[in-house]
Structure formats: structure tokens, C-alpha cells
Amino acid sequence: MTYEEYKKTEEKRLAVNIAHLERGVKFIDINTAYIDEEAVIGAGTVIYPCVVIEGKSVIGKDCVIGQNSKIKDSKIGDGTDIMSSVITESAVGERTHIGPFAYLRPGSKIGNDCKVGDFVEIKNSSFGDGTKASHLAYIGDSDVGAGVNVGCGVVFVNYDGRDKHRSNVGDGAFIGCNTNLVSPVNVEEKAYIAAGSTITQDVPSGALAIAREKQRNLEGWVEKRGLLNKKK
């Protein structure tokens, strides 16, 4: 590419941004947003610097697309905030908060009033309305109902080394921190899973599942090992 060709490309990109501006889209820095011609953005949406919107993405009204976010061939509902995250071939409902540093991989469908927090990765999975995964979780090949809490460190273990498997979590369930759900499993509505559990069987509605080694305290172990007098 020559410099003249580059200048023409930049002029075309800026013209696309100006067209969005004139339709009511707000830019913090119009010169640093990269928006494909086919993208649709609703009035009142705020675009922060270094945002990339690719393909036939549709962004609703009154959204906030935070700095360094990338959205490709996805649909975003009205009033949703996306903070420094990547969304690819997915759909996000209204008034939902994504990020920072979340990753929605192809086939993800997130409902209304949800939260997908920092360092949460979702792949080919669905969230019902009001479901929250606030931080540090992986949800793959699963259908999660409405009003579910997915705790910190939860992993949906969807791959056995050869095949992918799918799990289901019912409405109102609670998945405690550092839980492994070894797919395929079915966690029924309003079931609770204790933190630190590895779940390999279905959990009935309203039940508490605990699947972890019982704690043992070995009295005097530190002194016996000589660990109180470490060499400096």
C-alpha cells in the first residue's frame, strides 16, 4: 500500500464515522474508531477510543463501547456497556454489562440484565436474563438459565480430549467458586453447588451438591517437618 492509498482508506474510514456521528452516535475520539461500512449503531451510543466494530454488527441505542473493545458480526442490545472486551459472532441483550477483558466466542447468547465480568470467557453458550459471571470463569458449550450466579473460578469442563459435551444449568441455581462442572451434567433449577466441588453427576432441584475431599488438620506437622526454622 502506498501512502496515497493509505490516505484514501483513512478518509473513507473517517467518512463512515462522521455518518454515524450525524445519526446521533457519540465519539470520544472520532479519529481512532474503526467501524465497517455495514455496521449499524443506534443513537446515543458512546464510542470510546480504539474501538473496532467489524462485519454486519448491530449495536443498539444508548450503549457504551469502551476503549479497546472489538465487536465482530454480533448484535448488542440497547443500554448495554462493553468495557475493553472482545465479542465475536454472538448476541448480547439489553442493559447487560460486559467486561473488562471478557471474551465472547462464536455462538454465545447473553440475555438482558446480565453481567459477564473481568476475565470471563464464554463459548457457544447461553445465559438467561439476570445471570451473572462476575470474574475469572470459563463457560463452554452450556446453557445457563435465568438468575444464575456463576462464581469466581468456575470452569465448565466441556472437552474430554476427543469430543465436546454440553451441560445445562437451571434457573436460579448457584455455582460456588472454583467449581468444575464436568460435562455433560444437568444442574436443575435452584440447586446449589458448594465452592471447590467437582461435579460429575446431575444435581436435583433445590439440592446442595458437595464434591470435595474432607478437610484434615495434621496437628504439629509444621514443627515436625522443621519448617519453623527455615534457613535465611
What pLDDT score was predicted for residue 182? 97
Res. 230: pLDDT tops 70: no
227 pLDDT above the threshold of 70:
yes
Q: What is the mean pLDDT of the chain?
A: 96
Instruction: State residue 229's pLDDT score.
Output: 75
Residue range 11-66, pLDDT digits in tens:
999 999 999 999 999 999 999 999 999 999 999 999 999 999 999 999 999 999 99
Does residue 111 register a pLDDT over 70?
A: yes
Is 105's pLDDT higher than 70?
yes
Which H or E run includes 76? strand 75-76
Determine what percent of the chain is predicted with pLDDT higher than 70: 99
Distance of CA 16 to CAs 7, 70, 119, 231, Å? Answer: 14, 17, 32, 66
- At residue 1, the pLDDT reads 84
Is residue 13 within 8 Å of 39, Cβ to Cβ? Answer: no
Confidence of residue 213 (pLDDT cuts 50, 70, 90): confident
The answer to whether the CB of 145 falls within 8 A of the CB of 130 is: no
Q: Is the pLDDT of residue 232 over 80?
A: no
Interacting residues of 18 by C-beta distance below 8 A, sequence separation 6+? 30
At residue 225, the pLDDT reads 86
List the catalytic residue out of 20, 97, 135, 165.
Answer: 135
* pLDDT band for position 205 (cuts 50, 70, 90): very high
Calpha distance 193→203 (Å, rounded): 8
Is 97 designated active site?
A: no
Mean pLDDT of 155-170: 96
pLDDT of residue 93: 98
Portion of the chain with pLDDT greater than 90, in percent: 92
